[in-house]
Structure 1
């Protein structure tokens, strides 16, 4: 998987006082935004938001913020 398919998208406030790094997984015009966290003692990518109809090269800032907010609900 190359850097164009999986890359950091930035840090955004999650509503719990943290600023997690949001990662972007991209395939064609579909993007999944999420975090990398430990789950059952394994480093895991957890998708927390998506953009199924992405038409532009630049990520939607609202979707990135939503991904950060939802990441606060992920049990770690």
Structure 2
């Protein structure tokens, strides 16, 4: 059983998600999940060209938790109060954290740190 599942792939990039997040993703509001899928498919095809920062946004660099001290830039696909956080490596975007009910305008710093740390775990285990 793969630990990473593909959501979509097109000419610009591939978008994947950690398998353990799949159940949470499927429980999201149907309309908002469809909206997020639309943004992800658009990104996979054309990059951020047609997505403003209300749909896709860089949230900053966060520590990976690796001994190397490496930091990763965390990005978010956004729809209403839902955020899908992840990181890029080459032509793959990997979603490593979901915030299904963001309560305020600013992103939850702990969710952002978790996204980078989980990405660091994937990279260190060679499951990219």
Q: TM-score range by the shorter chain?
A: 0.7 to 0.9
Identify which of 109, 113, 123 aligns with 1:61.
Answer: 109
Which has a greater percent of strand? 1
How far, CA to CA, are the matches of 1:2 and 1:55 in structure 2?
Answer: 21
Q: Give the count of matched residue pairs.
A: 72
Counterpart for residue 58 of structure 2: 8
Unaligned runs of 5+ in 2: 1-50
Residue 25 of structure 1, CA deviation: 1.0
**Scaled by the length of structure 2, what TM-score is found?**
0.53
Identify which of 2, 5, 20 aligns with 2:72.
Answer: 20
Residue 34 of structure 1, CA deviation: 0.6
RMSD: 1.2
How far, CA to CA, are the matches of 2:105 and 2:84 in structure 1?
Answer: 14
Larger Rg, first or second structure (1 or 2): 2
**Scaled by the length of structure 1, what TM-score is found?**
0.85
